[in-house]
A = this chain, B = another copy of it.
Amino acid sequence: MDLHGYFNSSTSFRVRIALALKGVSATSLPVNLREQAQRSAAHVGLNPSAGVPVLVDGDFVLTQSLAIIDYLDARHPVPRLIPEAGEARARVLELSLGVACDIHPVNNMRVLRYLQQVLGVSDAQKQAWYQHWVAEGLEATEQLLARHGHGPYCFGEQPTLADCCLVPQVANAQRMGCAMHAFPRIAAIHAHCMAQPAFQAAAPANQPDFVA
């Protein structure tokens, strides 16, 4: 199995966490987003969305990190990352989709590039944009955790898809200088996760294509 990804792509990071938690190995094939390698003919041939991650399992090619993790959860169900049913399932999907649909996309690299290259915003405006959406999104996530979460992971004693989504979002936020003190539940979950070997193995700094 091959995973086309990039060390500091948070969507790639999500899938790497899932693979590591399940103990499934995949060959990591770096796609250098800073050099726009995702727009190469070879990569667009693989993924018409010109993005990462892409999972290649034999002749089966799958894009979209949450679809990939759902696929891995069916093929390698130990540990299960998306609860099979009931309120537990709904809560995990709700929090995960909050990160995946409400926070991450607006601060994606292609969006930041458009802001700078087409709309000509300044570095300070770009930074304010980034921090605005992170703060708004993590505030909502913190509230959801206050209502439904129960640690040390987002939902209990075992990691789920929610942790696979939240941890990379926090890593991005920290890299962009966002203050985390207003989000004590998120910070505690992040710290707990990053003390676990699977999350460490999946971290950007431990990928073969990492550049400081």
Contact = CB atoms under 8 A, between A and B. Distances in A.
B97 A71 contact: no
Interface residues of A, number: 44
- So how many copies of this chain end up in the complex? 2
A125 interface: yes
A87 B60 contact: yes
A192 interface: no
Contacts of A121: 119
Interface in A77-116: 85, 87, 89-90, 93-94, 97-98, 100-102, 104-106, 108, 111, 114-115
Does more than half of chain A's interface fall in helix, strand or loop, or is it mixed?
A: helix
Contact of A125 (B89, B119, B139, B140): B119
A67 interface: yes
Contacts of A125: 119
Contacts of A49: 98, 102, 137, 140
A100 B101 CA distance: 6
Contacts of A97: 64, 66-67, 100
A67 B93 contact: yes
Contacts of A139: 48
Interface of A: 48-51, 60, 62-64, 66-67, 70-71, 74, 85, 87, 89-90, 93-94, 97-98, 100-102, 104-106, 108, 111, 114-115, 118-119, 121, 125, 128-129, 132, 137, 139-140, 143-144, 147
14 contacts: A60-B87, A62-B94, A66-B101, A67-B97, A71-B89, A71-B90, A74-B85, A74-B89, A102-B105, A106-B106, A106-B111, A118-B129, A118-B132, A119-B119
Q: Which A-B residue pairs are the 6 nearest by beta carbons?
A: A48-B143, A67-B93, A105-B105, A49-B140, A64-B97, A48-B140
